[in-house]
Structure 1
Amino acid sequence: MYTRILGFAAVAACLAMPVSAAVALGDAAGSYSISPASSSIRFSIGKVGGGGLNGTFARFKGSIRIDNSDVGRSAVNFTIFPESVGTGQGRIDAFLRSDAVFDAANSPEIQFRSTSVTRTSDTTALVSGRLTARGKTFPEKFTAELGGLKAGMIKFHVTGKVLRSRYGMDVGTPIYSNIVDFDMTLTGKRG
C-alpha cells in the first residue's frame, strides 16, 4: 500500500522537474511519455529495530507536460499498477496485493495528478497533486530533480514520503513505519 502511494508521489515529483535550468526551459518544453523500460519506482518502509521492507513496481505509465511560458502550468499524470509490486519474496508480494494492503483486485490503479509545479532551484521543483489509492484521495508533494535532456529524452529523479495510513494501508504499524519513502528514476520520451 505504501508502494502505491509513493509511486504516484514519485511520478508527480519527476514530472515537476522539467522546470530546471540545467536545461533551457525552451529546450525541455513539450509533452513526454514515461518509458517504463528505462525508469524505476522503488519504495522502502522502515521497521523497529532495523531492516524493513524494500520493493519496486514493475508496471506503471505516465505523462509529463512542461509549459515553456509558465512552469506552474506544467502537469504530471502517473498511474501505478499495484499488482506489479515486487519485493523478491512471493509471500510478501501476495500479502501486499491482498485486501490488507493494496487490494489490487478491487483497486487496480494508484493515480497521481499534479495540481501545481513550483520551481525550487535551477534543477529542482516541488510537484503537488492528488494521490488516489484504494478509493481515497489526498494531497501529496514530491521533489523532482532534472537529470538531463538528450535526443528527445528527459530524465528525472523523484523522491517523496507518503503516510500509508491515510489510504487504509496501516497494517503492521507501529512495528513497520507509517511512512513510505519513494525513490524514482523516470525517463520520458518526447512526442
Structure 2
Amino acid sequence: MPVRNLSAVALLCLALTCPAAAAVDLAGAAGQYRIDPGASRIGFAIDQIAGRGIAGVFANFSGTIRIDGQQVGRSEVDIDVAPASVSTGQQRVDDFLRSNAVFDVAHEKDISFRSTSVKALSDTSATVIGHMTARGKTGNETFTVQLDSQSKNRITFRITGKVLRSRYGMDVGTPIYSNVVDFEMRLTATRQ
C-alpha cells in the first residue's frame, strides 16, 4: 500500500476514534458571560474627505452578554464604554475627542448600549439592535455579530456596525470628516 494511502487511513481512523472539536454555534454557547476587556478590543474609524481620517480604540469598557440557547432572539447584550479612554495615538486628537465638542468627558462618563432585539442570521451570526446613549441622547443602532470561537467557559465575537455621530450631537467637522463612525470590535467574554 502506498504511503499516502496509509496516511489517509490513519487520518480516517483518528477521525473516527477522536471526538470532533465542538461546533461553534450560538445555541451551543448559551449562558451568561462577562466581557474581558484585557482580551477584547473596541475600535473605530472615521473617514476624511482628503486624508486618512481618524482611527482609534477605547481602552476602558465593561459589559455582559446573555445567550438564550432556546431562543437566540431573547439574548441580551449590555456594554458600557468610558469615552475618556479614547486613544488614537495622537494626543492632540485625543484631547479634542475628549473635549465638549465631541465626548464631553467632563460631564459624560459613559456611552452605553442596551440590546432590544437579537435576530439570528445563521448558527454563528446575528443582528443585534439596541439603544445607544451618548451625551444624553439615545438612538437605535444595529450591529452584526459573528461568533468566532467558543469553549466551555469563553466566547469570542467579531462585531461590526456603523453609527451616525450627528445623532448624538458629535457632528463637529462634517462634512470634512464623515458623519459615519465604523465600529470594529472583538469581544471575548468569560462564562459567569
Please indicate the TM-score interval, normalised by the length of the shorter structure: 0.7 to 0.9
State the Cα distance separating 1:25 from its structure 2 match: 4.5
Aligned residues: 171
How big is each residue's C-alpha offset from its partner over 1:28-84, in whole Å with a ceiling of 9 and x where there is no partner?
Answer: 110000000000011000000231000000000010000111111100000000000
Is the 1:57–1:82 Cα contact (8 Å) retained in structure 2? yes
Secondary structure of 1:144's counterpart equals strand
Deviations along 1:66-116, whole A, 9 cap, x unmatched? Answer: 011111110000000000000011111011001000001111100000000
Stretches (4+) displaced over 4 A: none
Query: Which residue in 2 is equivalent to 1:182?
Result: 183
- 3-state DSSP class of the match of 1:104? coil
Contact 2:66/2:75 (8 A) holds in 1: yes
Higher relative contact order (CA 8 A, sep 6+): 1
| Mapped partners of 2:183, 2:57: distance in 1 | 10
Q: Is the 8 A contact 1:142 1:160 kept in 2?
A: yes
Paired residue for 1:117?
118
Percent identical among aligned pairs is 58
**Deviation digits for residues 1-52 of structure 1 (CA, Å, limit 9, x no counterpart):** xxxxxxxxxxxxxxxxxxxx95244531100000000000110000002310
TM-score of the superposed pair, with normalisation by structure 2: 0.86
Whether the aligned pair in 1 keeps the contact of 2:25 and 2:147 (CA below 8 Å) is no
Return the alpha-carbon distance in structure 1 between the equivalents of residues 162 and 124 of structure 2: 20
- Determine if contact 1:22/1:122 at 8 Å carries over to the other structure: no
User: Is 1:46 the equivalent of 2:47?
Assistant: yes
Stretches of structure 2 lacking an aligned partner (at least 5 in a row) = 1-21
- TM-score (ref. length: structure 1): 0.87
Which structure has the greater CA radius of gyration?
A: 2
Gaps of 5+ in 1: 1-20
Q: Deviation string for 1:105-151 (max 9, x for gaps)?
A: 11110000000000012211000000000000010000000001024
Secondary structure in structure 2 of the residue aligned to 1:169? coil
Q: Secondary structure at the match of 1:37?
A: helix
